[in-house]
Structure 1
Amino acid sequence: MSSAFLIAIVVIVAAAVAPTLATEHVVGDGAGWTVGGPNYADWARGHDFRVGDTLRFSYTIGLHNVLEVSRADAEGCTSSDPAAFPYMTGNDSVSLTSPGEKWYICDLGDHCLKGMKLGITVSAPPPSAVTVPSAVGEVSCGWMHLLMAAYCYWMNMIM
């Protein structure tokens, strides 16, 4: 088997796996999002949050909600943004679309003061392109176009 063929197979497999690497993090695991639930700071330390992942907040509708706030607001258990609208479905999926710190609270009653706040740090996404070395330079094809990357590499090898 030629090395060009093996590299093409590796590129195809890597590109096929890359989109599946996004993770859904169920906040609080089995306990969910609730008063008296886990220590959410401890829970967050056990996870690696990346752009493209989602947070799943599961709770009883009407008893809790999820509001994205600033760090200062989370520390004060309040929201300084009058336009902020909480998630309230009981099974909220929050997409992590940018890197940086993200903060979430339940702003019903004194729930935040009782520990219903979560702070996480979201890491940048993995590179969005696979660079394939070839005999005539490098060919960069988007990993979403996996087969095209292998084809580009193969064509550069035979030309």
Structure 2
Amino acid sequence: MNKLSLWLAFLCLLIQSYTNSAAVFTVGDGSGWSFGADSWPAGKSFRSGDVLEFNYNPAFHNVVAVDASGYNNCQMSAGSRVYNSGNDRITIGGGTNYFICSFAGHCDGGMRIAITAN
């Protein structure tokens, strides 16, 4: 029984260290989620479980999680998840995560990001 307790304690520490290692990134840094954000991810390293924080005025913008086609064509599909609080915190998964603003002309103006997480 003592070995089982030790194993469970080790497992809990391992899980805690993984969850504590997630980084929080403010999209656009001090400028927030705005036009020209498409260049913001350059030079940054992301991991699955990291959190993207989108700050913006919800009267003028939103955040939509899309697939590669939606990103490339600046279009959301019927199943796209729309965020509109103005302070959205989104945990990213492994692979490439795509986000756009669906307000007319905003995605074409650079309000889109592609984040590749390891």
Q: Displaced runs of 4+ in structure 1, greater than 2 A? A: 14-20, 39-42
Contact kept, 8 Å, 2:39 with 2:113, in 1: the verdict is no
Question: Unaligned stretches of 5+ in structure 2?
Answer: 1-9
1:33 equivalenced with 2:33 (yes/no): yes
Within the candidate set 40, 43, 67, 1:43 is matched to: 40
Structure in which a larger fraction of residues adopt helix? 1
Report the counterpart of residue 97 of structure 2 in structure 1.
102
Question: Unaligned stretches of 5+ in structure 1?
Answer: 1-10, 124-159
1:59 equivalenced with 2:56 (yes/no): yes
* CA-based RMSD: 1.9
Q: Which amino acid counterpart does residue 93 of structure 1 have in structure 2?
A: R
1:46, 1:58 → 2: CA distance? 21
Q: What TM-score, normalized to structure 2?
A: 0.80
Report the counterpart of residue 117 of structure 1 in structure 2.
112
- The number of residue pairs the alignment matches comes to 106
Report the counterpart of residue 85 of structure 1 in structure 2.
81
Q: Which amino acid counterpart does residue 32 of structure 2 have in structure 1?
A: G
- Greater Cα radius of gyration, structure 1 or 2: 1
1:99, 1:53 → 2: CA distance? 10
Q: What TM-score, normalized to structure 1?
A: 0.61
Identity %: 32
Report the counterpart of residue 6 of structure 2 in structure 1.
none
